[in-house]
Amino acid sequence: MDKSKLTEEIKRLREQRKAVILAHLYQVEEIQDIADFTGDSLELSRKAAETEAQAIVFCGVRFMAETAKILSPDKTVLLPVMDAGCPMADMIAAEDVIKLKKENPQAAVVCYINSSVEVKAVSDYCCTSSNAINLIRNIPEKEIIFIPDKNLGSFVAKHVPEKKIILWDGFCVTHHRVTEKDIEDVRKKYPEAPILVHPECRPEVIGKADFVGSTSHILKYTRESRAEDLIIGTEMGILYRLQQESPNKKFFMLSPHLICPNMKKTRLEDVYNVLTEMRNQIKVDAVIREKAVTALDKMLKFS
Ligand code: SF4
């Protein structure tokens, strides 16, 4: 089937299945083009929960589809490519969290949304890269076990020095590839251009950047900036949206290695196939879901 026929068929199936298609901003362009909503993982899951749709197709990685299922337990959630996972989310298991809690009984566990539903279920609070600082500043506990991203955890610790933050040795394999040398090289090449990085980057990279923020914060910065050239230090799928929002600006990647292979696995054929067969359904145990919802609800209360 050629691309236009495939797109047509997906639209037909979306109607037939009463489905909503979500695409993370790191997805390939053809997927972002057919989506009803594009954005970051929590934003997408919340938007889908508000719709009347009976099914959600989440074009992203597994923990994102799980988050959608947590927030929409009565909807069918489909993940187009079952082995699209997040290496960082896989760096910690629920048993690791339980052990950490035993070793630090006075500490609260704050888990980044980039984690499995089982890990969320044994955590006290969930957070996103947009709200992690505010959440940790506002919760009553003075000691925090931050999982799984040590880079985001270090960034938070720097901004909330009054709290003791215990880090786990996890990281995003994509953002962690960026080095200080990348910053130095790009600074020489484009001395006037602000360098924007995601807090999943290493602390030494964050320390040399002009702006640090989540994907939504980076989007906002670029919309409002008067700079004509900007350097982007997050996954390169975001360029598509940046260019759509600011067609007169030029965006350059901080590193050519900012590509997440898992985010690039989903193709139109995969979306077509799951909608045709209603396969790759994400199942979440009801008890685990209940506990994970509590961590997510507490995030909304404090962030
Ligand atoms: S970009 Fe990083 S955090 Fe996001 S899915 Fe890929 S590995 Fe995971």
CATH superfamily of 175-259: NadA-like (3.40.50.10800)
H or E, element range at 240? helix 238-245
Domain boundaries, the chain: 3-84+263-283, 89-171, 175-259
pTM of the model as a whole: 0.95
Which residue owns the Cα nearest ligand 1 atom 3? 172
3 class by beta-carbon count within 10 Å (0-12 exposed, 13-18 middle, 19+ buried): exposed
Ligand 1 atom at shortest distance from the alpha carbon of 175: 2
Q: Report the separation in Å between the CA atom of 227 and the middle of ligand 1, taken as the mean of its atom positions.
A: 28
Question: In this model, does residue 210 exceed pLDDT 90?
Answer: yes
Rounded to 5 degrees, what are φ and ψ at 122?
-100, 10
Pairwise CA distance, residues 130 & 141, whole Å? 20
* Identical fold, 3-84+263-283 and 175-259: yes
Q: Which residue has the tokens 């052990």?
A: 99
Which CATH superfamily does the domain covering 3-84+263-283 fall into? NadA-like (3.40.50.10800)
Closest Cα to atom 2 of ligand 1: 172
- In the reported structure, the alpha carbon of residue 297 is separated from the centroid of ligand 1 by a whole-number distance in angstroms of 23
Pocket probe for ligand 1: among 90, 114, 215, the residue whose CB has the most ligand atoms within 8 Å is 114
H helix count then E strand count, the chain: 14, 12
Q: Answer for the pair 174, 236: CB distance below 8 angstroms, yes or no.
A: no
Whether pLDDT at 215 is above 80: yes
pLDDT tens digits along 246-301: 999 999 999 999 999 999 999 999 999 999 999 999 999 999 999 999 999 999 88
205: left (phi over 0), alpha (psi -120 to 50) or beta: alpha
For residue 151, report the distance from its CA to the centre of ligand 1, in Å.
13
pLDDT in tens, 26-36: 999 999 999 99
Q: Residues with beta carbon inside 6 Å of ligand 1?
A: 61, 86-88, 114, 172-174, 235, 260, 262-263
Q: What is the CATH T-level fold of the domain 89-171, as seen in this structure?
A: Rossmann fold (3.40.50)
| pLDDT tops 80 at residue 303 | no
Token pair 């600082």 is at which residue? 133
**Residues 6+ positions from 133 with CB-CB distance below 8 Å:** 155, 156, 159, 160
